[in-house]
Amino acid sequence: MTKTVHHWIGGKTVQGTSGNSGPVTDPATGEVTTRVDFASLAEVDAAVAAAKAAYADWGQSSLAQRTAVLFKFRGLLDANRDAIAELITAEHGKVHSDALGEVARGLEIVDLACGITVQLKGELSTQVSSRVDVASIRQPLGVVAGITPFNFPAMVPMWMFPLAIACGNTFILKPSEKDPSASLKIAELLAEAGLPEGVFNVVHGDKVAVDRLLEHPDVAAVSFVGSTPIAKYIHTTASANGKRVQALGGAKNHMLVLPDADLDAAADAAVSAAYGSAGERCMAISAVVAVGDIADELVAKIRERAEKIKIGPGNDPTSEMGPLITAAHRDKVAGYVRGAKEQGCEVVLDGTGHSVEGFENGHWIGLSLLDRVPVTADAYQDEIFGPVLCVLRTETYEEGLALINNSPFGNGTAIFTRDGGAARRFQLEVEAGMVGVNVPIPVPVGYHSFGGWKDSLFGDHHIYGNDGTHFYTRGKVVTTRWPDPADAPTGVDLGFPR
């Protein structure tokens, strides 16, 4: 029996009428468990209309009203962590503890949104001239849209909508069609928290739904997170249609290991960051750059740890790594490993052909480790988005830095060293938006913004933190004079006001 996931428009589930739908698969079994409605243009228009109608009141609502809903939602989210994590595991495949981590990181942004009163305080300068005061305020944009990827079906939407609605906007989410259920659960919790109808809407679908959001005249801004080619397309198209856009793309994250680093700590970090969530993280470490003569020892330590990772269904508490999202993606990832030797890599671990007993139709692949990877190899050039770690070797820090800075991506990066001076140099010289010093996955906490450089982000704003509040509001400056009735009239003056 397959279930169907419907849209959420105007505060309730709305069955799709387009006649189009897509399959949702349990990656551990390979079975289609669910079908998800794909929205037609008319259905997207209905969601935008609902959001626009809701904006009339929500845009005028008091900060106290908004935060009351957000605090209630935070409590419900906290109480439903497990339920949401189960939905994520059933459709994405990641292990339950990892899914719980994703919910926790999303909750961080809800925490931030609960404190929106402080962030929206604005600025006031009194007496800038005689009896003249100037106030800078920020106001909501209207209807804003979020388009999100499969790999964080709860967290990435929560990077967007809590701040968007806290700022007074209404929101339309187009989640990934591969794992749509978490977004519906979130919609139900928001309704239970008292969010007025139409403030948060979910339309499911593919390019048809996305393109309509990008061109709809009543959508003021678009937040996107996904792969680089689509991020570029979203940025170009939505900008051409006059919308504010932030489009976060793919990555190839390097970890630079200097000769003085604690190699056990570096190996632990490399294995955790490369193979966690089966490498399906935009902040996964996919390239280790070993500097100097430590490479053999570091590779041996990574291999020893990687060989012990237990692969299995995400709902088995003993599993450390789950399957990949689809069979097609698993086959694509395997192709990089199979072609690696021919392209000059040394294949230390080959995870292709891995199977899990009792789950033979799951989208399994084991851990792969490639050493002495040339920069020309496809496994290095492309974002693989699977459990494949490349090791590159350089003689010096400068060579390692140049290698990282030559990458077209600039999402996250990390340095492992005991040398504070080298770490300081690295944080200033490396071309990436998020830098870790002995921290392999430097995803910023909620009150600092998340975003990459180069092909990892198109647009000016990073996501959440102060950039989030800025993205979802526009500035207005009010200059006020209250003349003293006792003053003589100023008279006409055609000069430019000074």
Q: Which residues are annotated as catalytic?
A: 282
Q: Is 102 in the site for ligand NAD (CB under 6 A)?
A: no
For the CB of residue 216, give the shortest distance to ligand NAD in the complex, in Å.
14
Percent of residues in the chain assigned helix, strand, coil, to nearest 5: 40, 25, 40
Counting contacts by CB under 6 A, is residue 151 touching ligand NAD? yes
- H-only helix segments in 204-349: 207-215, 228-240, 263-275, 295-306, 327-338
Q: Which residue is nearest to ligand NAD (CB)?
A: 226
Alpha carbon separation from 69 to 73, 75, 110, 193, 428 (Å, rounded) = 6, 10, 11, 6, 41
| Binding region for ligand NAD (CB under 6 A) out of 33-41, 117-125, 133-141, 248-256 | 248-256
Beta bridge mates, 473: 140
Q: How far apart are CA 55 and CA 218, in angstroms?
A: 11
**Residue found by looking up tokens 């180069």 in the block:** 454
DSSP 194: T
Closest distance of CB 90 from ligand NAD, Å: 17
Which amino acid appears at position 396 of this protein? T
Query: Given the complex with ligand NAD, which of 24 and 225 has the nearer CB atom?
Result: 225
For 29-142, strand residue ranges (E) read 31-37, 123-129, 132-140
Residue number, 70 or 156, with CB nearest to ligand NAD: 156
Q: Please, which residue, 88 or 422, has the CB nearer to ligand NAD?
A: 88
Task: Please report, to the nearest 10 degrees, the dihedral formed by the alpha carbons of residues 73, 76, 82, 83 taken in order.
Answer: -90
What are 480's strand-pairing partners? 133
Query: Which residue's CB is nearer to ligand NAD, number 58 or number 150?
Result: 150
The residue range among 1-9, 145-153, 181-189, 271-279 that interacts with ligand NAD, by the rule CB under 6 A, is 145-153
Near ligand NAD by CB under 6 A, which window of 52-60, 144-152, 186-194, 419-427?
144-152
How many residues make contact with ligand NAD (CB under 6 A)? 27
CB of 45 to ligand NAD, least distance (A): 17
Please answer whether residues 18 and 37 qualify as being in contact, where contact means their C-beta atoms are separated by less than 8 angstroms: yes
Question: Contact with ligand NAD (CB under 6 A): which of 133, 197, 206, 215?
Answer: 206
Query: Can you tell me the distance from the alpha carbon of 176 to that of 149, in angstroms, rounded to the nearest whole number?
Result: 5
Does position 94 interact with ligand NAD (CB under 6 A)? The reply is: no
Give CA separation, 184 vs 8, 87, 180, 204, in Å.
7, 10, 7, 10
Q: What residues numbered 405-434 form the site for ligand NAD, per CB under 6 A?
A: 411
Q: Looking at 230, 256, 373, 389, which residue binds ligand NAD (CB under 6 A)? A: 230
Residue closer to ligand NAD by CB (options 86, 280) is: 280
The CB-of-372 to ligand NAD minimum distance in angstroms stands at: 25
Q: Which residue of 114, 158, 190, 248 would you call a contact of ligand NAD, by CB under 6 A?
A: 248
Query: Does 286 contact ligand NAD by CB under 6 A?
Result: no
- In the complex, what is the shortest distance from the CB of residue 436 to ligand NAD, in angstroms, rounded to a whole number? 15
Closer to ligand NAD by CB, 175 or 196: give it.
Answer: 175
Give the footprint of ligand NAD on residues 380-409 (CB under 6 A).
383, 385
Specify whether the CB–CB gap between 122 and 135 falls below 8 A.
Answer: yes
- DSSP characters over 395-437: SSHHHHHHHHHTSSEESEEEEE-S-HHHHHHHHHH---SEEEE
Dist. CA 168–CA 174, nearest whole Å: 19
The footprint of ligand NAD (CB under 6 A) covers: 147-152, 156, 174, 176-177, 206-207, 210, 225-227, 230, 248-251, 282, 383, 385, 411, 452, 456
